[in-house]
Amino acid sequence: MSDIAPRDENKVTAMLATSSVDLTSTVKVIADPTSRKLLTDTILTDSYGFSVENTPMGEMRMVTPVRLSGSSFSGSTIDSNFWTSAATGGAGGSAIAQSGSEITLTSGTANADSVTLFSVRNSRYVGGSSMRFRALCQFASGTENNKRRIGIGFGSTAMPAVTDGAWFQLSGTTFSVVTCKGGAINEQVISSGSFNGVLGTTYTPPTTVITLEIYWTNSKVWFVIGDDILHTVSASTETWGNTMSYHIFASSLNSDTAISKTLKIRTATISRMGNLETLPMTKNITGVNTSQIFKYSAGTLHRIIVGTPVNGKTITIYDNVTGTTNPIGIITLPAQSVPIILEYRSPFFNGLNVVPNDTGLNLTVVYE
């Protein structure tokens, strides 16, 4: 749009009235005698309805997605450092296998045959940042007595017994989106015919590869297929899950004899839509030789500073709150009089517990 003189407000009105641009956002027209340009104060939104915002200094807010869980499927060996998989039953040929840069869950044909896959790591939710699950997958056609799921999940006891989460589901021939809080009895299932997104009320997944995404905060869940919203769940009166930190998970379950069906996954990740790190905390402990709980949930251990080393004494760091399993590290201290700085920058997923075995140790723990 060309420059407009300070007193040409009528020209501004005429140009807006005849413009072919569809200004669906809120627009405020300002005549700026200094720059002699038409300025607009506009709220930019995308197809999801997410708005673009600036800082008070006028910089546009931009984030880089940080992958927290998931990995590529390379080679023929399922990497147990990143994924836990299982096929139970097996009489009907249930199986999970990796090849050709994808992993395939095969249901088998026997009653109660099941196949599960979930990420070893969960993905820490941080207030003020949204989360995104993204998978490239391929469903075989739906069939009676078979249920296939893919999305995010958490097991209050242990995975793969999912008690909380959000996922896409093909049960029989019915495609649904599901949120769950506190177990299967509390599953909120929205099936094709009742979707509220731009794809329409009904949707049937093709048998070709599709991109599935789930965005979530503690108040909403957006289910997206191929960059278009399928359905939005709003949690206005209570949270939609008992946690906001989830694993990737996928499963296939037969409830009766059925034709064996597959779910193929080329990639599956969870990312935080924001910075990897937050401002860390610092805590000092001294005069103790018992388990010290620093956090009851996921986070990052940055460093431990040993202010007063004691020769031959140990410090054990656990990824839990009990101080018994999942050790991050065991340090045996040398004989020296100067402080020791131990750099970790290591994530933990269940909690942070530090156990010094001598009351003479003076420790400063930096973590988030």
> Does residue 264 contact residue 135 with C-beta atoms inside 8 Å?
no
Cα(123)–Cα(133) distance, rounded to whole angstroms?
Answer: 10
Q: What is the pLDDT of residue 257?
A: 79
Q: What is the pLDDT of residue 183?
A: 93
Q: What is the pLDDT of residue 277?
A: 79
Identify the three-state secondary structure at position 186. helix
Q: What is the pLDDT of residue 38?
A: 46
Q: Which H/E stretch holds residue 16?
A: helix 9-18
Q: What is the pLDDT of residue 42?
A: 67
Most confident listed range (53-57, 158-162, 178-182, 253-257) = 178-182
Whether the per-residue pLDDT at 6 is higher than 80: the answer is no
> Does residue 38 contact residue 4 with C-beta atoms inside 8 Å?
yes
> Does residue 216 contact residue 180 with C-beta atoms inside 8 Å?
no
Whether the per-residue pLDDT at 201 is higher than 80: the answer is yes
Give percent of the chain above pLDDT 90: 67
Cα(206)–Cα(55) distance, rounded to whole angstroms?
Answer: 42
Cα(352)–Cα(356) distance, rounded to whole angstroms?
Answer: 13
Neighbouring CB atoms inside 10 A of 199's CB total 16
Q: What is the pLDDT of residue 27?
A: 45
Whether the per-residue pLDDT at 41 is higher than 70: the answer is no
> Does residue 147 contact residue 169 with C-beta atoms inside 8 Å?
yes
- Tell me whether the omega of the peptide bond preceding residue 205 falls within 30 degrees of 0, making it cis: no
Whether the per-residue pLDDT at 252 is higher than 50: the answer is yes
Q: What is the pLDDT of residue 56?
A: 66
> Does residue 133 contact residue 148 with C-beta atoms inside 8 Å?
no
* Range of lowest pLDDT (150-159, 175-184, 268-277, 284-293): 268-277
Higher pLDDT, 247 or 14: 247
Whether the per-residue pLDDT at 299 is higher than 60: the answer is yes
* Range of lowest pLDDT (109-113, 167-171, 260-264): 109-113
- Residues of 156-179 as b/e, b for ≥16 C-beta within 10 angstroms? eeebbebbbbbbbbbbeeebbbbb
Q: What is the pLDDT of residue 186?
A: 93
Gyration radius of the chain's alpha carbons:
26
Q: What is the pLDDT of residues 106-165, one digit of tens each?
A: 998 888 889 999 999 999 998 888 999 999 999 999 999 999 999 999 998 889 999 999
Q: What is the pLDDT of residue 18?
A: 42
pLDDT band at 90 (very low <50, low <70, confident <90, very high): low
Q: What is the pLDDT of residue 367?
A: 96
> Does residue 340 contact residue 309 with C-beta atoms inside 8 Å?
yes
Cα(77)–Cα(271) distance, rounded to whole angstroms?
Answer: 24
Higher pLDDT, 46 or 331: 331
Q: What is the pLDDT of residue 20?
A: 43
Give percent of the chain above pLDDT 70: 88
Whether the per-residue pLDDT at 39 is higher than 50: the answer is no
Q: What value does the mean pLDDT of the chain take? A: 87
Cα three-residue angle 164-167-170, rounded to 5 degrees: 130
Whether the per-residue pLDDT at 305 is higher than 80: the answer is yes
> Does residue 277 contact residue 145 with C-beta atoms inside 8 Å?
no
* Range of lowest pLDDT (53-67, 134-148, 231-245, 287-301): 53-67
Cα(322)–Cα(195) distance, rounded to whole angstroms?
Answer: 44
Higher pLDDT, 314 or 10: 314
